[in-house]
């Protein structure tokens, strides 16, 4: 019996904010020129959520990550066994070996997105990959299977739930300026926002605590620092 549950996989859209851009972690499989989202399979002895968190920790080194399941992808179009054959053979495995046959079957994938602080992560490729790198969401390489659709759905979901999911998440440091918060919103929405309108909206939501100013030599220009209210997380 296989170590992993057949026909079920997961894929993770790992978002990080670099200060002005929203980025996503992308793997490149060894000797294939195939780019993909970090993903994997579920062991027979673990929960689905545990499998996803295990994979995220392996790729980012982080344990306490905000994670949300957002969609299940099961189109017949995503069944392309030749792609997994290519990946196996490029890494020195015999794709005709019976013990790998389950990996060539059709898979339904459960998709998650994660929000992390870009500065906290040194991305780590897995055993089948040459690289694991950050790419801006508007500069992604061509992705295999339906991973472009998965990214698009993740961005759509993040935008629709922006106010709720930004609270207490790790896209920003613990304390941040209003300008930095606005930059996160602009990076996710893909549009420029009017400063006064944005500030009025955010403050009206009662999500933030205001702290001391961030002095940088020009006191009258120093911005206030904010943090999210813990009871709102």
Query: How much is the pLDDT for 24?
Result: 95
Enter the tokens of residue 149: 């659709």
Are 36 and 147 in contact by the 8 Å Cβ rule? The answer is yes
Ranges 39-48, 114-123, 164-173, most confident: 39-48
Q: Among the listed ranges 43-52, 69-78, 183-192, 205-214, which one has the minimum average pLDDT value?
A: 205-214
Summarised one tens digit per residue, pLDDT across range 12-38 is: 999 988 777 889 999 999 999 999 999
Summarised one tens digit per residue, pLDDT across range 209-221 is: 888 776 665 556 6
| Residue 103: pLDDT over 50 | yes
Phi then psi for residue 80, to 5 deg, are -140, 85
| Residue 61 confidence class, pLDDT cut points 50, 70, 90 | confident
Positive or negative, the Cα torsion across 81, 12, 131, 41? negative
Q: What share of the chain is helix, strand, coil (3-state, %, to 5)?
A: 35, 30, 35
| Residue 44: pLDDT over 80 | yes
pTM: 0.84
Summarised one tens digit per residue, pLDDT across range 112-154 is: 999 888 888 889 988 889 899 999 999 999 999 999 999 999 9
* CA atoms within a 13 Å half-sphere pointing along the CA-CB vector of 198: 17
Rounded Cα–Cα distance for residues 142 and 103 (Å): 22
Alpha helices in the chain (DSSP H): 48-60, 81-90, 147-160, 162-166, 178-189, 195-204
* Distance (Å) of CA 108 to CA 35, 45, 77, 133, 156: 19, 19, 11, 25, 21
| Residue 231: pLDDT over 70 | no
Query: How much is the pLDDT for 215?
Result: 60
Domains of the chain in start order, with CATH, are 4-165 (3.90.79.10), 173-232 (1.10.10.10)
Find residue 15's DSSP bridge partners.
Answer: 24, 115
Query: How much is the pLDDT for 87?
Result: 93
Ranges 40-44, 64-68, 229-233, most confident: 40-44
């Amino acid at each position: 019996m296989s170590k992993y549950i057949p026909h079920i996989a997961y894929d993770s859209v790992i978002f990080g904010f670099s200060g002005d851009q929203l980025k996503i972690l992308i793997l490149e499989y060894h000797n294939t020129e195939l780019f993909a989202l970090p993903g994997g399979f579920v062991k027979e002895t673990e929960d689905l959520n545990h499998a996803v968190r295990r994979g995220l920790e392996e790729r980012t080194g982080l344990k306490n990550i905000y994670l949300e399941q957002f969609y299940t992808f099961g189109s017949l179009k995503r069944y392309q066994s030749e792609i997994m054959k290519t990946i196996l053979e490029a890494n020195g495995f015999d794709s005709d070996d019976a013990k790998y046959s389950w990996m060539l079957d059709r898979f339904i994938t459960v998709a998650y997105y994660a929000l992390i602080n870009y500065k906290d992560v040194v991305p780590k490729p897995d055993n089948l990959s040459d690289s694991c790198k950050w790419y801006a969401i508007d500069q992604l390489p061509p992705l295999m299977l339906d991973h472009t659709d998965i990214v698009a759905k993740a961005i759509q979901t993040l935008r629709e739930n922006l106010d709720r999911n930004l609270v207490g998440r790790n896209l920003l440091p613990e304390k941040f300026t209003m300008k930095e918060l606005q930059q996160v919103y602009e990076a996710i929405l893909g549009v420029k926002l009017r400063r006064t309108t944005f500030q009025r909206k955010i403050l009206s939501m009662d999500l933030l605590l205001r702290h001391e100013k961030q002095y940088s030599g020009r006191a009258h220009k120093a911005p206030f620092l904010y943090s999210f209210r813990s009871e709102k997380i």
